[in-house]
Amino acid sequence: MAIQSINPANGELLRSFAPLTGDTLQRKIDLAAKTFLAYRQTPLEHRTLWMRKMAAILEHERDEFASLMTAEMGKPFKAAQQEVAKCAVACRYYAENAARMLADQPVATEAASSFTRPQPLGVVLAVMPWNFPFWQVFRFLAPALMAGNVGLLKHASNVPQTALEIEAIVRRAGFPRGVFQTLLIGSSQVEEVLGHPAIAAVTLTGSDDAGRAVAAQAGYLIKKSVLELGGSDPFIVMPSADIAAAVKTAVRARCINNGQSCIAAKRFIVADEIFDDFAQRFTDGMDRLIVGNPMSEDTDVGPLATPAIMDELHAQVQRSLQAGATLLTGGEKLMGKGNYYEPTVLVAPPAALVQQPSAEDRAATAVFREEMFGPVAVLYRAANIEHALALANDSSFGLGAAAWTRDPGEQQRFIQELEAGSVFINAMVASDPRLPFGGIKNSGYGRELSSVGMLEFMNLKTIVVA
């Protein structure tokens, strides 16, 4: 089956590619393995120079790369520009800090000398998603290449041009041939590649089903894996919060990247005494969003990436209404060409608010514990902080969480008790090259970014000299 690039704004076929097979695929894997043997010995100063050059390319050609992303997966052009710029920041961060991260770490023992030394594992397979087609790759690529690993990218099949462009950027920056290669293959071929003896580790960002499949194989093969999977992030608002700031951030947090983000706020848990005020302001904010051509500077929400994603989102909205949710705004596909969906606000029914639901109630409200990938928000009414925490943690996911309160005691409770890889107080959940990023529960394991992310694909070798 061909790998196709289709513009989600109008359904136009942009390009079509035949997937790699047989000897062609084998040669790319062999090249990666051979390249690693030499590349791991490359002086860090050389890698630093190439990484800085890559940052400069991203900055100087930002608009061209942003246009490509927008054409392939529909994110608003201004958001795509910001994504490219963030990739450049990550490249510069690792160029400036890799020497510190990779330095020997002395440990006091009875020996004459004892320390740890991180060393690269080898060829890392990166299975990446379409929603942030540059950032998801660069947050793996920058630390992996600076550490001396080499990468093979299996990108999402709807962004093949972006995948090839990223490989070209790496080569233009000066990195040796074979250090980073794109594999235009289908999902069914991941098992074959991961099973190749040359592959040392795998990182995957995607659905929990994809994560289970890759983790099972990696576990059987005893290969290191890092998973960043789905999320159904809570956004909690307590009575002491700055309501105006919370509402403004909530609208952005729900609809960033057209609502297609693992760390987008999806469940809005609001204290009962301010619920009506928040709901009205939030709904007004969602209604003011401009849905349209993603290349327009005025557009807030562009098309969803594929027709299947739009259809699944609409089905979830319909099931929510059947389960008793109240529709405040939206709830429909937009007519005409393109995968456009109205910004939508739902209010969860009483059955979804029970702290210890019966099996019957839990089954009837299952849709409210699913991840909705698009501009659809669900509001929950919380009686108090205990109820808010119970609702927030009643999820199989544990990626990020945001809590809005000016009460120091409440802040500490949210920091301590929210079950998530990241907790943001009075701010929107976001990734930052300086901070570890990842989740717990069905949101995956392992961390990306910061020194922690770099060390995920390294052998932390213990050295003792008597």
The SS3 call for residue 54 is helix
Cα(9)–Cα(74) distance, rounded to whole angstroms? 6
Write out residues in the chain with pLDDT < 50, as ranges. Answer: none
Average model confidence (pLDDT) across the chain:
97
Say how far apart CA 378 and CA 373 lie, in whole Å. Answer: 12
Convert the pLDDT of each residue in 379-393 to its tens digit.
999 999 999 999 999
State the residue for tokens 């890698």. 47
Structure tokens of 217?
A: 């194989």
Tokens of 253: 């947090």
Cα(303)–Cα(338) distance, integer angstroms = 6
The Cα angle at residue 338 between residues 335 and 343, in degrees rounded to 5? 65
Question: Tokens 């074959």 label which residue?
Answer: 192
* Structural contact between residues 69 and 305, judged by C-beta atoms closer than 8 angstroms: no
DSSP classification of residue 342? -
What integer pLDDT is reported at residue 73 of this predicted model? 98
Instruction: Output the CA angle 436-439-440, nearest 5 degrees.
Output: 135
Give the DSSP letter of residue 257.
Answer: G
In order of 127, 276, 356, 378, the CA distances from 349 in angstroms are: 38, 15, 15, 10
pLDDT in tens, 390-399: 999 999 999 9
* Closest of 229, 124, 190, 185 to residue 456, by C-alpha: 124
| pLDDT of amino acid 67 | 98
**CA torsion angle 85 305 141 255 (round to 10):** 50
**Which residues form the catalytic set?**
228, 262
What are 192's two structure tokens? 């074959």
pLDDT in tens, 440-451: 999 999 999 999
Q: How far apart are CA 266 and CA 254, in angstroms?
A: 6
Tokens of 281: 């302001």
Burial class (CB within 10 angstroms; exposed 0-12, middle 13-18, buried 19+) of 110: exposed
Q: What is the pLDDT of residue 104?
A: 98
Other CB atoms within 10 Å distance of the CB of residue 458: 21
Q: List pLDDT tens digits, range 15-73.
A: 999 999 999 999 999 999 999 999 999 999 999 999 999 999 999 999 999 999 999 99
Residue 107 to residues 73, 114, 143, 453, 462, Cα–Cα distance (Å) = 48, 6, 24, 22, 10
pLDDT single digits (tens) 403-412? 999 999 999 9
Q: What is the pLDDT of residue 240?
A: 98
Domains and CATH numbers, the chain: 3-229+443-465 (3.40.605.10), 233-432 (3.40.309.10)
At residue 361, φ and ψ (nearest 5 deg) are: -65, -40
Tokens in use for 295?
């290349």
Is 0.85 surpassed by the pTM of this model? yes
What is the rounded distance in angstroms from the CA atom of residue 321 to the CA atom of residue 348?
A: 9
